[in-house]
Amino acid sequence: MDSSALVFVATCDLAGQVRGRAVPSPDEPSALRTGTGWVPADLAITSFGPIAPDNVFGSVGDLRLIPDAATRVDIPADEGRPGLRLYLADQTTPDGEPWPCCPRTFLRDALRELRERTGLVVTASVEHEFTLEGLPSGPPFSLQRLRDAEPFGSDLIHLLDQAGLEPETWLPEFGDGQFEITLRPSDALVAADRAVLLRELVRDLARRRGLRATFAPMTDPEGAGNGVHIHLSLRDADGRPVLHDSGRPGALSECGARFAAGILRHAAALTAWTAPSPVSFLRLAPHRWSAGGVFLAERNREALLRICPTTRIAGADPATQFNLEYRAADATANPWLALGALVRAGLEGLTRDYGEPTVWPEDAEETDLANVPALPGSLQEALAALEEDEVVRSWFDPRLPATQLSVKRHELALLEGLDDAARTRKVSDVY
């Protein structure tokens, strides 16, 4: 690493923004031991910059950002920019105790409780779509568009590989200038960490290549949206997959069906965490291949929860591939909170009597699905659902959902009076 590089100690806030503090590289050992200073009200910074005026923290309190050495990423010097070492951090009290409102701690605690109460662990992968501006127009999924994105595409795969993020696929997507990048499945906390890092690495590389990358859920009200698809599978304490049962509907095991039931039961409130921008719900509508309703289905891209396809080619085992895909998320969400909320919801399904949901087959017609519940139609509706869902709110320190409501309602207020085109431009500029 360039000896002049800084070390940036970072967290991810309720707006999905990576924020933190830099220290000179000679001070890295000290920062790893004792962290850097931080402030509770930083959690209440909106995506557009101002702190939500009615946040619960006010001007008091102090925290520490304690880096996790396992998250280290080195961004190499390139195009006149010096290198940078980046760490993701846990937020703690000044004495080093976990801060109850730390998003990364929330996910870690959810995974621990799932393991302690059920013996299950989560493997996850977070699949991202984004728009790359500054390239020639090219056909969807085409080799032409893939090549037009060079050297950005090859540089990105190399950068992610060197950073240990395990890139899996890179492809031109359907929308104009839209691309998709996927990472290999991993431990759930690692998967969420990688989601935080991926967005920053993509945007940083795009700037260095004279391009502009945005992960905004919508860049044009009439265009294709950028989603985040969260893939989840469960394994027992011995590492055996537990979601697959070939004798049941959709080949989904009883355990998997109950886990899915929890997510479906609390779907409306969950979207306040997984799709939390003022324009997120322009994408989450029927016929947009995002999430057209609250239902579980085989290989249906309108389902909130999709049972993903598997293959037996070359002797592949379907059980090891089998996973559920949650589709009502985007990159305006905090990955730790989004994944943690899904785990908590799944745990509710496993431990409460929610029953088993219908598994709609792949050939289900639109008329068959006419009566499935709808997702919230706006962020306002999602926030109201969060307020009303006492179970979901019980998973959090009360200050955390209170701050989410404050931040998101202030973001809505900052865009009040704008039409959809202006609102999407504002959000696109941030993400």
- List % helix, strand, coil for the chain (3-state, nearest 5): 40, 25, 40
Residue 278 predicted with pLDDT over 90:
yes
Residue 5 predicted with pLDDT over 90:
no
**Helix or strand or coil: residue 179?**
strand
Per-residue model confidence as pLDDT tens digits over 339-350: 999 999 999 999
Please name the residues in contact with 330: beta carbons below 8 A apart, sequence gap of 6 or more: 215, 216, 217, 225, 226, 227, 228, 274, 275, 277, 280, 283
DSSP characters over 56-70: SSTT---EEEEE-GG
Choose which CATH entry (3.40.50.620, 3.10.20.70, 2.70.150.10, 3.30.70.330) describes domain 6-97.
3.10.20.70
- For residue 296, the 8-state DSSP code is E
**Could you tell me which CATH number the domain at 106-389+420-430 has?**
3.30.590.10
pLDDT of residue 4: 52
Answer whether 266's CB lies under 8 Å from 304's CB.
no
CB atoms inside a 10 Å sphere around CB 275 = 29
**What are the residues facing 91 on neighbouring strands?**
65
Per-residue model confidence as pLDDT tens digits over 169-195: 999 999 999 999 999 999 999 999 999
Give percent of the chain above pLDDT 90: 93
Per-residue model confidence as pLDDT tens digits over 285-343: 888 888 989 999 998 999 999 999 999 999 999 999 999 999 999 999 999 999 999 99
Nearest one of 174, 185, 192 to 329, comparing CA atoms: 192
- How far, in Å, are 9, 12, 15, 173, 425 from residue 45 at the CA level? 17, 11, 8, 32, 20
Per-residue model confidence as pLDDT tens digits over 65-99: 999 999 999 999 997 899 999 999 999 999 999 99
Residue span(s) of the chain under CATH 3.10.20.70 come to 6-97
Per-residue model confidence as pLDDT tens digits over 191-207: 999 999 999 999 999 99
Per-residue model confidence as pLDDT tens digits over 376-408: 999 999 999 999 999 999 999 999 999 999 999
Query: What values do phi and psi take at 169, rounded to 5?
Result: -140, 150
- For residue 225, the 8-state DSSP code is B
Tell me what the mean pLDDT of segment 131-151 comes to.
Answer: 96
Q: In 119-214, which ranges are continuous DSSP H helix? A: 143-148, 152-162, 188-208
- For residue 49, the 8-state DSSP code is S
CB atoms inside a 10 Å sphere around CB 422 = 12
Mean pLDDT of the chain: 96
Q: Cα–Cα distance between 255 and 105 in angstroms, integer? A: 26
Is this prediction's pTM over 0.85?
Answer: yes
Residue 3 predicted with pLDDT over 80:
no
Peptide bond into 398 cis (omega under 30): no
Tell me what the mean pLDDT of segment 238-254 comes to.
Answer: 97
Residue 64 predicted with pLDDT over 70:
yes
pLDDT of residue 1: 42
Query: Which of 47-56, 210-219, 286-295 is the least confident region?
Result: 286-295
- How far, in Å, are 8, 244, 272, 308 from residue 298 at the CA level? 43, 13, 25, 7
Residue span(s) of the chain under CATH 3.30.590.10 come to 106-389+420-430
Q: Which helix (H) or strand (E) holds 264?
A: helix 254-265
**What are the residues facing 66 on neighbouring strands?**
90
Q: Cα–Cα distance between 302 and 260 in angstroms, integer? A: 16
Helix axis angle, 267-274 to 379-388, nearest 10° = 120
Q: Which single residue is written with the structure tokens 């395990």? A: 166
What does the block give as tokens for 318? 């379907």
- How far, in Å, are 113, 239, 264, 342 from residue 354 at the CA level? 19, 26, 10, 15
Residue 112 predicted with pLDDT over 50:
yes
What does the block give as tokens for 47? 């995506």
pLDDT bucket at 128, cuts 50 / 70 / 90: very high
- How far, in Å, are 138, 232, 311 from residue 321 at the CA level? 32, 11, 8
